[in-house]
Amino acid sequence: MQVRVLVRLKPGVLDPQGRAVHHALEGLGFAGVEDVRIGRLIELDVAEGTDHATITQMCEKLLANTVIESFTIEGLGEGAN
């Protein structure tokens, strides 16, 4: 069973990487880009029936640092956020 965890820097946390990419896009001539934020996509292949609470624990214990990052879980169907 495939589960996708999206980890993002929280709003207000400086993202120098995103800023550099933003500048690079402008350098390539792309106009109208307001902001760039870079996150991380983690694809998990987990046993059927793995519940949302377990994936949430994985996120809180390791996959995301909740001091600076938020996470969303996709692919668990009902109950996914």
Partner 1 sequence: MAFRAAVITFPGSNCDRDMASALAAVSGAPAIRVWHGDADLPDNLDLIALPGGFSYGDYLRSGAMAATSPIMRAVVAAAGRGVPVLGVCNGFQVLTEARLLPGALLRNAGQRFICRTVALKVENTASPFTAGYTAGETIRIPVAHHDGNYYADAETLDRLEGEGLVAFRYAESVNGSARDIAGVVSENGRVLGMMPHPERAIEPAAVSALGGADGRRMFESILASFATA
The residue ranges that bind partner 1 (CB under 8 A) are 13-14, 16-17, 20, 61-63, 65, 67-68
Query: Which residue, among 32, 35, 1, has the nearest Cα to 17 in the 3D structure?
Result: 35
Q: E strand or H helix at 55, and its extent?
A: helix 52-58
Q: Tokens at residue 43, please?
A: 């694809």
Residues ≥6 apart with Cβ < 8 Å to 39? 6, 7, 8, 9
Rounded least distance, CB 34 to partner 1, Å: 20
Q: Which is nearer to partner 1, 11 or 49 (CB)?
A: 11
Q: Which is nearer to partner 1, 31 or 67 (CB)?
A: 67
